[in-house]
Structure 1
């Protein structure tokens, strides 16, 4: 039975990016590096895309070809060893799609999350009842056991989220009115949003209907920010595939979009009042 591929950690992704940059700076192709090190070209591609962890001797061979000083080699070997440390996800990811597992791994290591949602409550702020209605409702082909795995993963994400991890979430007003799971489930969900919005690490804004056209209308996204030395990532979930964007152009574009959403949406206080009013009237 095949084992699911483990989600790459941020450290592994950082190492993969540095190896790719080192090769490109030397002007060597993957074919040339393969010839100089006897490392299979396909293996080199998997290493450079964080799909495989290199062995220490493989890493040393690559770094020698790239002319990396011994001190820096030792630093990169240390990163490799840290990248082998298991996270909570690696014990619970069986049955989850690779891309979703990858996202959860990145989320677990992020230093800050910026999330715009046009249709759903952000996963980190969902009640279990809401999640149990939203997951199969948005993907009716999911069998019950896979629905259960995703619900468990979502609740575990919330439990594992560090208490100091800043989350800035902006949701469309339609999210508050869409009856996911029915009136009782939605009332409990909105009550939780009000409570969460009062936590110091959570900033929650609502994009009101009267805001008119805004840049978030193209769809939901998450900007994951990491510690210095690791590129940020934009995550976009679609029904066809999940996208991970980390180019400077994409990051600039989505950071600008989020800044405009922050400026257009109701303030955190206004948003809390809007949700509280909705609870009183239901």
Structure 2
């Protein structure tokens, strides 16, 4: 293993190896012993500042009990990490891309997120997650397939990793007003979700949740999802922008991530402040309970 710059591919490889090692309950020294290196080399590898030969990866995977498709994916990541890559756009076509997205997200010091029309995954309540998955079943994956339960536990684990009591990362989430007023199949689903948002804001004062009102003009992220992860002095920012389900696409070129951060901060400036956002969420929750809807021209009582 040689010293290397922390590229996106090396960061992905390192995060996957760390997850496999922790899943196996092995200390870093065990990995070092498996490849005949000092522990600091495993630290560098997991931090994305070292590369590994295929032979060393084979030994680490055997040590961590990884096999089959999982082993193949890590070896593919290792081959990409050893190549000289032009930093700009990275497409993750390998299996379980959503797990590597969660690894990257959990390792970030700063998360900046704008999602149009949907509550961000980290902030979703259990009933909202179920309703969201139900809308996609039979379209993006087979209904009641083996992936359904796995997706559920993955979403809950992702939330637990980011919303720990001792978490000190900076997290900024922009929620569009239409996402707060969405029909998720039953009024109680949306009511639970809105109450969940308020509870999160109360429980985690450092969690920055703001609402972008529907009538605001000047949103450069309109109709899009935009996330930018910051890593402080551990590496360059990484941007993510999703379309329909498919390969995950990331950006780590300086020009691209700078543009994405400018777009995020433009939207952030258009949002309501924290307390005004909280009051609007509570107002919409009350409308939901009272059976009223806001048509955009004032509240209108729903007909029985």
Partner in structure 2 of residue 266 of structure 1: 272
* Richer in helix (by share): 1
Q: Partners of 2:11 and 2:195 in 1: how far apart?
A: 45
Of 41, 44, 51, which aligns to 1:79? 44
Contact 1:226–1:232 (Cα < 8 Å) also in 2: yes
Partner in structure 2 of residue 222 of structure 1: 227
Query: If the length of structure 1 is used for normalisation, what is the TM-score?
Result: 0.68
Partner in structure 2 of residue 202 of structure 1: 207
- CA shift for structure 1 position 107: 1.1
Equivalences for 1:32-43 in 2 at 5 Å?
A: none
Partner in structure 1 of residue 287 of structure 2: 281
Partner in structure 1 of residue 252 of structure 2: 246
Partner in structure 1 of residue 76 of structure 2: none
Q: Decide which moves more: 108-117 or 158-167.
A: 158-167
Q: Does 1:237 align with 2:217?
A: no
- CA shift for structure 1 position 155: 0.3
Contact 2:109–2:231 (Cα < 8 Å) also in 1: yes
Number of equivalent positions: 223
- CA shift for structure 1 position 108: 1.5
Of 174, 177, 180, which aligns to 1:176? 180
Equivalences for 1:1-282 in 2 at 5 Å?
A: 17-18=5-6, 50=13, 78-80=43-45, 97-138=95-136, 140-141=138-139, 142-143=141-142, 144=144, 145-161=146-162, 162-163=164-165, 164=167, 165-198=169-202, 199-239=204-244, 240-282=246-288
Unpaired runs of 5+ in structure 1? 1-11, 21-45, 60-72
Q: What value does the CA root-mean-square deviation take over the aligned residues?
A: 3.6
Contact 1:114–1:167 (Cα < 8 Å) also in 2: yes
Going from structure 1 to structure 2, the CA distance change for 1:169 and 1:99 (only over 3 Å counts) comes to same
- CA shift for structure 1 position 16: 6.1
Unpaired runs of 5+ in structure 2? 18-30, 49-56, 71-93, 289-304
Q: Partners of 2:185 and 2:95 in 1: how far apart?
A: 24
- CA shift for structure 1 position 78: 4.5
Going from structure 1 to structure 2, the CA distance change for 1:236 and 1:81 (only over 3 Å counts) comes to closer
Q: Decide which moves more: 115-124 or 221-230.
A: 221-230
Partner in structure 1 of residue 91 of structure 2: none
Q: Partners of 2:232 and 2:282 in 1: how far apart?
A: 36
Contact 2:13–2:46 (Cα < 8 Å) also in 1: no
1:131 is paired with a residue whose SS is helix
Q: Partners of 1:173 and 1:81 in 2: how far apart?
A: 39
